[in-house]
Copies of this chain bind each other. A is one copy, B any other.
Amino acid sequence: MRTSLDCIPCFIRQALDASKMITSDEKFIIRAMKRVLAAISDFDLGLTPPEAGQVIHRIIREEMKDPDPYLKLKELSTARALELSGRIKITITGSKNPFETAVRFSIAGNIMDFGMRSDWDEAHIMSSFEKAEREPIDLKSLECLYNEIKNAKTVLVLGDNAGETVFDRLLIEVFPGNARVYYAVKGSAVINDATAEDARQAGIENVAEILSNGVDSSGTLLNKCSGEFLSIFNDADVVISKGQGNFETLNNAERKIYFLLQVKCKVIADFYNFRHGEWIVADSNSLNKTN
């Protein structure tokens, strides 16, 4: 999916927010923002948003001399997710359809995204979990996903944000069948996307093999991913992609992918005729572009 003009103000706000998390020294922030603005003025809008974001967040990390500006927010997300996970695991295992309930909480966890907003808003986050069991989702796609996992030899889950990973673990725990499960993370820090270390803190190691995609982008840039990642991506029987960044970079991928995400911006909503805020369970073959 290409970058929209509407992504531009959002990128600038994101860069400013990220800079402010690291320093209150205007000199540094101004220098970083000048570089970000100049970079964006030079952008090819044919790039996907995560490719554009990659350039911006590299500048921020470089100028701020901080390899992981969102580290504190990521740690807070994982800690809060672990706190919530006990109760949610009981809800999942006690429910009529534990797989469906686990998918629902995995999508609920997608709210832990600090690309759109950079402050911790407890009420905003909790409202996502509170509606997990009643938010409309596509139950037909869910059933197909269940059956494909049940029959799969290998399943690859493409992780999104730190914290959200905890709920992905709860989902993997109730996968049907006996597939070998891989959990892909980002090669290094970008926004609050989960890295291998973040995934370990969420306990992913207990349910899946952690696999770095090798890239510092908030999506999955197939043309830049490691050979090891690509081989598993291509050969896995089922690929599940979490979140917007992965969606924006894989919506046109050649293989079938199941997308689980919350639609968090108007750009994606308009592109696929989704509703802003909608919870998506869909496979790539069923997506219908509106423009």
Contact = CB atoms under 8 A, between A and B. Distances in A.
Interface of A: 5-6, 8-9, 12-13, 16, 20, 26, 29-30, 33-35, 37-38, 40-42, 45
A6 B16 contact: yes
A204 B38 CA distance: 44
Contact of A5 (B9, B33, B41, B42): B33
Contact of A12 (B8, B20, B35, B38): B8
Contact of A16 (B9, B20, B35, B45): B9
Given A5-B16, A5-B30, A37-B40, 17 more contacts: A5-B20, A5-B26, A5-B29, A8-B12, A8-B33, A8-B37, A9-B9, A9-B12, A9-B16, A12-B12, A30-B45, A34-B42, A37-B37, A37-B38, A37-B41, A38-B41, A41-B41
A65 B101 CA distance: 55
A257 B63 CA distance: 42
A159 to B, nearest CB: 28
A35 B29 CA distance: 21
A257 to B, nearest CB: 28
A266 to B, nearest CB: 13
A9 B20 CA distance: 14
Contacts of A37: 8, 37-38, 40-41
